[in-house]
Structure 1
Amino acid sequence: MSITADDFYRNVFHLKDENLIQELVSATEIRHLKKSEFVVRIGEVQNDVYFLETGIARGYFLDVNGKDVTDCFAFQCGTAAVSFGQLEVDVPSSMTIEMLEDGRFFCVPISVVIRLQKHYEEAMMLYNHLLIAAMKAHWELKRVLNSCTAVQRYQWFLEKYPGLIDKVSNKYIASFLGMTPVTLSRLRRTLREALKSEDKDATDSV
């Protein structure tokens, strides 16, 4: 069941300042995007912050050969679907954000967000919290890509992104984890067979 903008800011972002909440609610537009639609494309100007309520989105950029590389997934309620670290007006996006399933967003103009940060300490604290969380997620991904084996990367993904393995294309997950789709498929098959073997051994021992 969908929630209201008022409930979203109170219960997801845990805001307390009533004036801030009401200003955000007044500036919020609820938008629905279908699977394969875009929040923004590379080079386009994104003048609204899209706060995810439901759905799954993928952020990607292009490598030197023009091939898209998955940079992030948005699937948790409250995630800001916006180019990393970007909170400026009229700045072209450095990435594309594409819907992988239908989604619902609470959208607030970036200009309003900037203004509210200047007038409300809680707005600045929320922005800092979201920015720090995004930085930590990107640094953790960088660490995993550079110091973990393919198996460890896959197991990390299962833990950090619960449920996405069955909802998102292997191609996108493999790109995110720095491996080929063939490697990812082989890993999934090997681990499934290992789990079946463990279950069989456990049953036989009863």
Structure 2
Amino acid sequence: MDLAGLIRIIDPTLSTPTLAEFEKAWKVSWVPKGKILARQGDPVSSELVILDGRAISQITDYDGRNVCVGFHSSPCIITPHVARTREMTSLVSLELTTDATIAELDAAALVAVMLKSDEVRDWANAVLREELARKTDREWCLAALRGAERLTWFRDRYPDHESQFSHGCIASFLGMTPVTLSRLRRTA
């Protein structure tokens, strides 16, 4: 999918001139599998979109264990900069799990465009609302559901992800060990 198509999925009412101008602000590039788009604790200033490919968001704890907190499968908008940074420092690591085509825009440039265009501001707010709903849904799942129910929840919301992302990432995303996830998959 091209960038304009993805932007229109979020807000189909964006006018053609606004969309054309907004699309020109983004830089599109091909990036190889394994590339770290953002590293937890490092400065980061970009909004990111995956036009083709997949990535994961991870948080590394003090013991060096990675916990998957998000899956990104094209076409998708990566968690907005404001929601994945604190004082311009990344709270998560973003790693490509496949080769990818990404679009990138400096976060400050997006804010500047939002201040000039109500349409772009409405689009960006819709992106942020969708991300908040996704994160709240996962938080509810982790707090309210047991293991088997979490797996059912995951399969309902992310029907293709079991074949696209690693077993370990899925287990950590669901707040369980890989062994527990294996057991649940066998009995489900």
In the TM superposition, what are the counterparts of 1:69-88 in structure 2 within 5 Å? 69-83=67-81, 85-86=83-84
Matches of 2:156 and 2:145 in 1, distance apart?
14
Q: Report SS of the residue matched to 2:111.
A: helix
Pair 1:178-2:175 in alignment: yes
Aligned length: 188
Give the 4+ runs in structure 1 shifted more than 6 A: none
Pair 1:151-2:141 in alignment: no
Gaps of 5+ in 1: 192-206
**37-46 or 10-19, which deviates more:** 10-19
Q: Percent sequence identity over matched residues? A: 23
Give the letter for the 2:59 counterpart: F
Q: 1:91 aligns with which of 63, 88, 105?
A: 88
**Equivalence for 1:51:** 49
Q: Report SS of the residue matched to 1:101.
A: coil
Give the letter for the 1:85 counterpart: A
Give the letter for the 1:118 counterpart: L
Matches of 2:8 and 2:84 in 1, distance apart?
24
**Equivalence for 2:128:** 131
Residues 43, 175 of structure 1: alpha-carbon distance in 2 compared, 3 angstrom cutoff: same
With structure 2 as the length reference, what TM-score do the two structures score? 0.89
**Equivalence for 1:112:** 109
Q: Report SS of the residue matched to 2:130.
A: helix
Are 1:24 and 1:108, in contact at CA under 8 Å, matched by a contact in 2? no
Are 1:20 and 1:116, in contact at CA under 8 Å, matched by a contact in 2? no
**Equivalence for 1:160:** 157
Matches of 2:8 and 2:140 in 1, distance apart?
34
**Equivalence for 1:103:** 100
Are 1:87 and 1:110, in contact at CA under 8 Å, matched by a contact in 2? no
Deviation at 1:158, TM superposition (A): 0.8
**178-187 or 78-87, which deviates more:** 78-87
Deviation at 1:58, TM superposition (A): 0.5
Deviation at 1:78, TM superposition (A): 3.1
